[in-house]
Structures are given as C-alpha cells and as structure tokens.
Structure 1
Amino acid sequence: MLDMLVVGGGINGTGIARDAAGRGLEVALCEQHDLASHTSSASSKLIHGGLRYLEHRQFGMVRKSLKERDVLLRIAPHLVQPLPFVLPHEPHLRPAWLIGLGLWLYDHLGGRSSPLPRSRSLRLSNHPLGAPLHDGLRRGFTYTDAQAPDARLVVANAIDAAERGARIWTRTRCEQAWREADGWSVDLRDPDGSQRSVRTRMLVNATGPWAPGFVDDISLTRRVPLRLVQGSHIVVPALYAHDHAYLLQQPDGRIVFAIPFEDHYTLIGTTDVDFDGDPGAARVDDAQRDYLCAAANRSFRQQTSPRDIVWEFSGVRALLDDADAEASTVSRDYRLELDAEGAPLLNVLGGKLTTYRRLAEEAVDLLARHGGNAAPAWTATGALLPGAERGTPAQGAAWLATQWPWLPPALGARWARTYGARAALILGQADSMDALGTHFGADLYEAEVRYLCAHEWVRQADDVLWRRTRLGLALDAAQQDRLARWLDTHAPTGRRAVGSP
C-alpha cells in the first residue's frame, strides 16, 4: 500500500510529491495528461510577490510570496532568474506617492536578506528604458522580481520526487476512488487504456481547476469552494531590445505585463475572465487578443495587432472563491482542506507558481500528523532542485564550454538555462556534433529528445516543443512533423518511466 497518492501533475502536485518522498513516504503521482499540461504551463512565467495585490491589502500573501521568491532563487538558480521591471507612471491612474509607497512596502515585506536590488524612480524621458515608450510617459519606477520557465519548474520537481523514490505516472487518469477502513482504493486508467487499482493510506487532490469535479467523482458531498478564472497570453515579435520587463497600468484598473521572451519576442499578459466549462478547452478568443494588443499599444511606440501574434496560450486558474470580487482581484493565496473523516483526503485549493514549495511543505506537514511520519520539513534549507548544481545559466554555460568545447555556445547557453547540470546526461560520451544524432531543426538534436523520453516523461511532440522547451517557436511545420514521427517510433508507450515500478 502507498502512503500517499497525489492526483495532479502540475506545480502543486509535483511539489507535494517531492516533499513527501524526501521525508521517506512511499508516494505515487498520477496525471491524466503530460506534466504541466494546463494551468502550470500557462502562467506569466513570473516568480514574484504580486505588487498589485498590495493595493488590495493582501499583505500576508505578498510577504509569503516574496520570501518564497528568494528561496527559489537559491534552490533553482538555473531556472529562476532575476527580472528587472519598469513601471511607467500615469498620473490619472495612480498617484506617484502611492506607487512609491507600494514599492517601498514591496522592498521591505520580504525581509532584508533578499538578494535583489531595491526599487528606485527614474526619468523615462531621457533614459534608455523610456525609449520604447510613448512621449507622454515621462516618469517611472524600476524594481526587480524573478522569472522561471513554469513547465520546467514542474518537471524539475517531478524528477527530484522520482529520484527520491516517488512513482510518476503520466497520461494516467484517476477514474474513481473509494474510502475504506484503512485507506483508499483507487482505479487508474493507464496510457494504453487498461485499468488497474492501487491502494493508498492518504489521497491528495491537486487537480487545480478540476478539483471540484474530482470531489464529485469520488462521491463526496463536501463542496470545493473555487472560482475559475481564465488567463490568456500572447507572444509577438520583440517590442524593444533590452532585458527589462514592463508593468503597464490599464484604464480599467488592471495591469498587464510585457516581458522579454526567448530572445526575439515579447510576452504580453494576462487577462482575467471568469470561466465556466472544461478547463482543458480554454482558448484565447478575439476579445482577449484585442485587449492585450490594446494594452501594449497604449504604452509602446511599436504597435502590435492580432496579426503579429506568433504564439498564444490560455489557462484556467483555480482561485479561492470570492463572488463579490472582480476576477483580477481574487486572491492568489491557497487553502488546504483536510477531510479526515476516515482515510485522509487533502484538497489543495488555489495557489500560484511562486508559493508552490511553501504550499507543499504545509500540505505534507498536515498529512504527516495523520500518517505518523515525523520527518521534518527539508525543502527550504538548501536542497537544490535537479540541475542547479552548476549555478546560474551563465555559470552552467561556462562549465559546458569547458567540458565540451566543441558545443556551439548558443546551444550550450540554451541547455544551461533549460537543464542546468543535467545537460551532461544529454551529452554523455559525445565528442562531436555528429554524435548528437538526427538534427530536427533549429538546435534540436536526437540526443536531447532521447534524454527527454528517458528522463522527463516525454511522449509527444508538444511535450518537447512547448513544455520541456519553447522550440515550437523555432521549428517550422515540416520540422515539427518530423519530430512527431520520430517520437511515434521511439518514445515509450507504456507507463514505465523514471520512478515507476
């Protein structure tokens, strides 16, 4: 019998599986699709406190998020990178004193030990950071948060969970669960369509926007209080050439980010629209495209339109229910609801990318009191995520160049910021570019795809192109099709993978 079965392979589910496995629990995780298939790969890619939530007096959540931002900078330096922001001042929307006060609070809420620089004001009219903006934007502020490839953060947690003994079952759907005297009996449907049963002492519902339906499926009457909000993003050719992001105030009171993305693009987002339907079917619609383009065009000299969009994505966030609030102001905090009337069921409600580690720690602490496991929390005290051993992307790229001097610098840099030290598993004994095998296009080679199949649960082309990497922006349709056909032949088809029995 398992100690714990986690249902849901997003950031919260993989974080809980990692934490529990590190405390010696026998853990399995099942995910009905690929890891990070939905909400956890559809974020703004930010690790941040949430400056705008100070305006809604959510000081506790912002403080917790800022502290977690600094933890993630420490334990995943290859993935979590500082990101400086510019906040142009628009006097008719918010007075300068209010923005200055908010930034002062933001600097101090996380504590004095943050490695990131403090905020400051600047004159945009004669500063390079003001050059991409309309002339009317003369004053602004800068502050620093962090960013991370969201899906890669999910995968890193899954890898660490598996290497600590957890079983990770992707494309495995939890069909039904029954509470019994000493645990849960759970029916799972494997990728090949076959059904099997597992038994577990504790069950964790980390299904995000599917959480209410999951509770319905296992025939519990307890209501899961969530509000579903759709957030959409668009990617357009770069609107400016420097490395800062912009936080753009909007006339409706919302803010929109414009973020440098994959060297040649700008990521613009997000929307906040109440959602009703299948979370897996969320798509960007014309109204959201128009809103995001208009939001950018209000501030930038270079104008953009829906015709310029090279990629778009949309996800559904499961937020704590507050029917009286606007969708954009609903708290991004989380709540853990433990149903201990018999075998424990933990419902994970709400949350955001930044606070996943803290959520996971609290979840396992809560369940441990019912499971008799007294092992202490461990994930905040220097336990690096896989790949972090060689430090930042710049440090990782320098190490790769020393060990494999024939590797093109651009490829080494991409691998360093994608895999960190685990790039060594791709290279193995390779001594030339020819040894990397089939070239699929851009800088994607067979050796990388083989690594992803063997160690990162990749089965389909989209797993590679949009979640493990962002090479869908670089490979054309014919090249993507060639990759898909290769995976049809070479990718594993069963449930056996890292950490599986």
Structure 2
Amino acid sequence: MSEESAAGIHDLAVIGGGVNGCGVARDAAGRGARVLLLERGDLAQGTSSASTKLIHGGLRYLEHGEFALVRESLIERERLWTIAPHIIHPMRFVLPWTKGLRPRWLLRLGLFLYDHIGGRHALPATEAIDLRRHPAGLALKPGFGPAYGYSDAWVDDARLVLLNARDAADRGADVQTRTHVERLERVGDHWRITARGAGGETCLFRARAVVNAAGPAVLDLLDRAGCRSARHMRLVRGSHIVVPRLFDHDFAYFFQLPDGRIFFAIPYERAFTLIGTTDRDHRDGVDPVTASAEEIAYLCEGANRYFVRAITPTDVVWSYAGVRPLIDDGSNRPEAATRGYRLELDEAGGQAPLLSVFGGKITTYRHLAAGAVDQLQPYLPALSGGDWTARAPLPGGDFPKTGLAAVIDRLAGDYPFLAPATVDRIARAYGTQAWDWLGAATDRTGLGADFGHGLTEAEVRHMMVREWARTSADILWRRSKLGLRLDAAQVARLDQWLEEQA
C-alpha cells in the first residue's frame, strides 16, 4: 500500500479524465490550486472521444427550445477556435431542404437565430444555395435543389481532452491515468480517496474538495462517496460509422430523416467520411460501448437516401459509440433530451465539498469548468482570480486562429523529408509544439523507428512521455487516428516495440 499522499493534501481532486474533468483540472491549476486528476482508464477513453467531432451550437436544439444552451455554445465556438486553432477549424455545412420534412421557412428561421444569438464574428453567415449548381450537389442524388450553407467548427475531440490535461500538468496538476477510484470518505475537513492503480496496488489520496466528473458513472461515484442526488440521468448511446469518402470536397452535410432525426456526413482524415449520430437509450454497461448492427444499418440507410454512392455495412471501415450522460428531463425521445448541464454541490456543512457534473456537451466544457471552479472558490483559499481559460491558448495553439496554413508551411520547410500528408497531420495535432519532438532531425532516420504512415519512434515517445499513452490503442485511436491506416502487421510491430519499452 502506498503512503497516503506523501507530499500532503491536494486542494482539489478531479475524478474523471474526460473533457469536463480535464477542463476543470486545467482551470483550477491555473488559478493556483494544487490539483489531482484521477482517471480509471486512458484520458478521453469514453464519451469524450466518441463524439461527432463538432464544436457547434446545436442547430437542432433550437426546435426543442434550448435557446440558452445554443447561445452559450455559439459563444464558446469562436473562443475555442481561438485557443486551439490547430485542433479546431471552421467547417461549412450544407443543409438540403427535403420535401415533406421540415418546411423551408422553419429552416430559414432556425438558421437566422443560429447566426445572431451567439455573437458570431469570424465565421461566415448563412447563405441560400442551389445544389444543382453547387459543388456539394454533385455527390447527391438528383432532385435536391434548395439548400442552406452555414458555419460550425470541427474538433479533434480526444486531443482537446489531452491538451487540457497537458496544460493542467504544466501548471502543476498531478495527472494519474489508469487509477480507479473505489471509495471516497469525508474525514474532518477533507476527503480520503482510495483508488486502485494500474498494477493492482492500493493508492490513497487526500483532497479538500472533489469534483465528480465521471460522466456516465456520475451517480455510481456519488454512491461510493456515500452521497445521494435527487437528479436522474438518462444514458443515450450515439453511434458513428466511418466509410471511404463519399465526396471530394470540404463541405459537410446536415441531413434530415423521415423519423424526425438528423445526421451529419463529414469529411474525415482526408480519405474517409464520418457519418452519425444515432440516439438510442442505453441500458447496458458503459465499458466498452459499441455500435450495434442495427445502428450501423440505420446510418447506412440514412446516407443512401441522399448520396449517389450507396453504402452497406460491409463498407464500414470503423465504427464507434459513446454514451452521453444526459439529464433526464422527461423527454419522450432520446434525441429531445436536454444537452445542458447542471452543477450540484454537496457541502456537508461547509467542509469537504463535493461538486458533481451532470450532463454537458463538448462545446460547453470550458464554460462549465469555469463555473465549477467559481463555485468552489469560497471553499478553497488557494484559488485566486476569475475565468482565464477563454484567452490562454492550449498547448501548441499559440498562433492566430486563421494561421494554421502558415504553421503547416513552416513545418514543411523545416522538415522537407516528411510527406505532405504527415506534415498536415502533425501540424493539426501538435501545432507549434511539433518542433518539441521533431527537434533537429534532418531525415527520417533521425526520428527513430518508422511504424508506418508517418508514425515514428520520436512521436510515440512524445505521446508516452507527454501525453500519458501506454498502449497501441491509446496511440492509434486517441492521440491520432492512424488506426484507420496501419495494417495488422504494423500494429503488431508497434505493440512489440511498446512491450520492449515496458
């Protein structure tokens, strides 16, 4: 058994290494708190890496009356693009009008509100387009004409989580992955946390306050803390599929279906199209979560209503699913359940507070985190100052939000031996921190072993040392999406190399 927090007591323990937990850890560490972050698996292993990869207001939430949530999300959209221009970039969406579904006046009204309630500044406004003469119409079946183009943003969701954790650690936070919290106990003015480490060892920690950011397991963690909440959660599974690309342009699509649901088709990793999402109530376990055969078929059928190039489940090169921990607001349909969030404080007479995060969406994580730390400030004297994360770049994002092309050009000039696709991928993952691990290399041999498709020993070591990577899944599906490209022999070689480093 390890010694109980040998270095003393933490101001704040954050439990959950998803986007909300890492956002809270970053904010609190930047305000001077001594922060501990505990995650039972890998960072972003659950819901936070299983999104549709969008920073968006949620156009469809308007028809459910979620005006405040949409406004908050749209304000955050440009803030996040500003602080992370390497992993977030604008994307233009095409919304075709489909006869017999939502009327054109309703689409126009929704898009007018979308443009104006969130303080849009740098992103282009909505425009009416004719798919018979627009590049996005070429991939669609005949019969589509009137449509609308509007703006949102794309994000590498897993790397957004990692960068928040990295910045938290750079500001003094202790980030411990593969550490499962088994019990929390109030002992006087602090919490005593019992956890199980990756090797099965018992780990004990102390903290003056705890943030429960366990996502789908938020109520389970409350049980382990001996606390109760009157709030009910609704677990909704969202599944996605990835297929070889269905179109040769950079526009994304927002499609309607006859059952009232919507789905997106998004350019993905240069050679693929990402299609999703579903909304199904989830009553099974949350580890692991997979897309069902029914959901995969549903997404294929939805795509086939619109695209010239038909797809079947056999065309799916990858599928993934995540469980969204939504607040149960009594909605009849899972897609109508609120995507808003609530922060619930259990303060036990003013000592050892426990703040639980219910609900939320990736676009609002930063604002949620600021609100959570603000709420804890009266209990933690170490915290000082107010909301600071809206202006401070995430690691590698210290360049103008429209400056990614210049970063790519500079990287290509400094490392001419790298393939253009590899330069593009590296710039979009690491931004200005790419030079930290590329270093003084003058050819590929200077980066060590080559595992294929531009993944080198130097990059993998960087992921292990600076990004908490341990397995090939961590490297190929969360730190990158090279799992879509490496073949079985290349993955086996990477696994062997990782085993040799252990």
TM-score range, shorter chain: over 0.9
The CA deviation at 1:152 is: 0.3
The CA deviation at 1:477 is: 0.7
Give the aligned partner of residue 220 of structure 1.
227
Q: Are the aligned partners of 2:476 and 2:482 in contact in 1 as well (CA < 8 Å)?
A: yes
Which has the larger displacement, 83-92 or 425-434?
425-434
Give the aligned partner of residue 96 of structure 1.
104
Q: Distance in 2 between matches of 1:176 and 1:98?
A: 50
Q: Are the aligned partners of 1:215 and 1:224 in contact in 2 as well (CA < 8 Å)?
A: no
1:159 to 141, 156, 166: 166
Question: Does residue 1:176 correspond to 2:183, yes or no?
Answer: yes
The CA deviation at 1:81 is: 0.3
The CA deviation at 1:57 is: 1.2
Give the aligned partner of residue 490 of structure 1.
501
Q: Distance in 2 between matches of 1:474 and 1:348?
A: 36
The CA deviation at 1:276 is: 1.0
Q: Are the aligned partners of 2:28 and 2:383 in contact in 1 as well (CA < 8 Å)?
A: no
SS in 1 for 2:425: helix
Q: Percent identity?
A: 49
Q: Distance in 1 between matches of 2:170 and 2:134?
A: 49
Give the aligned partner of residue 266 of structure 2.
259
Q: Distance in 2 between matches of 1:60 and 1:490?
A: 50
The aligned runs of 1:86-485 (5 Å cut-off) are 86-112=94-120, 114-341=121-348, 342-373=351-382, 375-391=384-400, 392-485=403-496
Question: Does residue 1:18 correspond to 2:26, yes or no?
Answer: yes
Q: Structure 2 counterpart of 1:119, which letter? A: T
Give the aligned partner of residue 77 of structure 2.
69
The CA deviation at 1:374 is: 5.3
Distance 1:128 1:49, change over 3 A: same
Q: Are the aligned partners of 1:156 and 1:386 in contact in 2 as well (CA < 8 Å)?
A: yes
Q: Structure 1 counterpart of 2:267, which letter? A: P
SS in 1 for 2:422: helix
Q: Distance in 2 between matches of 1:222 and 1:103?
A: 38
Q: Distance in 2 between matches of 1:202 and 1:277?
A: 31
Superposed CA deviations along residues 34-92 of structure 1, whole A, max 9, x for unmatched, are 00001000000000000001111110000000000010011111111001000000131
The CA deviation at 1:215 is: 1.0
Question: Does residue 1:47 correspond to 2:50, yes or no?
Answer: no
- What stretches of structure 1 of length at least 5 have no aligned partner? 492-501
Q: Distance in 2 between matches of 1:380 and 1:19?
A: 7
Q: Distance in 2 between matches of 1:469 and 1:232?
A: 20
Superposed CA deviations along residues 2-28 of structure 1, whole A, max 9, x for unmatched, are 000000000000000000000000001
Q: Are the aligned partners of 1:184 and 1:199 in contact in 2 as well (CA < 8 Å)?
A: yes
Q: Distance in 2 between matches of 1:324 and 1:258?
A: 26
Superposed CA deviations along residues 115-141 of structure 1, whole A, max 9, x for unmatched, are 100001111122221111111211100
The CA deviation at 1:110 is: 0.8
Q: Are the aligned partners of 2:331 and 2:337 in contact in 1 as well (CA < 8 Å)?
A: no
SS in 2 for 1:382: coil
SS in 1 for 2:132: helix
Which has the larger displacement, 478-487 or 367-376?
367-376
Which has the larger displacement, 222-231 or 329-338?
222-231
Distance 1:194 1:486, change over 3 A: same
SS in 2 for 1:388: coil
Q: Structure 2 counterpart of 1:50, which letter? A: G
The CA deviation at 1:212 is: 1.1
Q: Are the aligned partners of 1:212 and 1:223 in contact in 2 as well (CA < 8 Å)?
A: no
The CA deviation at 1:324 is: 3.1
SS in 2 for 1:283: coil
Q: Distance in 1 between matches of 2:268 and 2:421?
A: 16
Aligned-CA RMSD value: 1.2
Superposed CA deviations along residues 372-426 of structure 1, whole A, max 9, x for unmatched, are 3452224344200001124443222112123334433322211000111111122
Q: Distance in 1 between matches of 2:144 and 2:422?
A: 38
2:37 to 6, 29, 46: 29
TM-score, length of structure 1 as denominator length: 0.96
How many residues end up aligned between the 2 structures? 490
Q: Are the aligned partners of 1:71 and 1:380 in contact in 2 as well (CA < 8 Å)?
A: no
SS in 1 for 2:27: helix
Q: Are the aligned partners of 2:11 and 2:382 in contact in 1 as well (CA < 8 Å)?
A: no
TM-score, length of structure 2 as denominator length: 0.96
Q: Structure 1 counterpart of 2:303, which letter? A: A
Q: Structure 2 counterpart of 1:176, which letter? A: R
Q: Distance in 2 between matches of 1:277 and 1:466?
A: 23
SS in 1 for 2:352: coil
Q: Structure 1 counterpart of 2:150, which letter? A: Y
Q: Are the aligned partners of 2:94 and 2:251 in contact in 1 as well (CA < 8 Å)?
A: yes
Give the aligned partner of residue 7 of structure 1.
15
Q: Are the aligned partners of 2:33 and 2:383 in contact in 1 as well (CA < 8 Å)?
A: no
Q: Distance in 2 between matches of 1:135 and 1:442?
A: 38
Q: Distance in 2 between matches of 1:389 and 1:236?
A: 34
The CA deviation at 1:223 is: 4.0
The CA deviation at 1:465 is: 0.5
Q: Distance in 1 between matches of 2:12 and 2:257?
A: 45
Q: Are the aligned partners of 2:471 and 2:498 in contact in 1 as well (CA < 8 Å)?
A: yes
Q: Distance in 1 between matches of 2:332 and 2:149?
A: 29
SS in 1 for 2:445: helix
Give the aligned partner of residue 4 of structure 2.
none
Give the aligned partner of residue 499 of structure 1.
none
Q: Structure 1 counterpart of 2:434, which letter? A: A
Q: Structure 2 counterpart of 1:401, which letter? A: A
Q: Distance in 2 between matches of 1:95 and 1:401?
A: 48
The CA deviation at 1:224 is: 4.3
SS in 1 for 2:398: helix
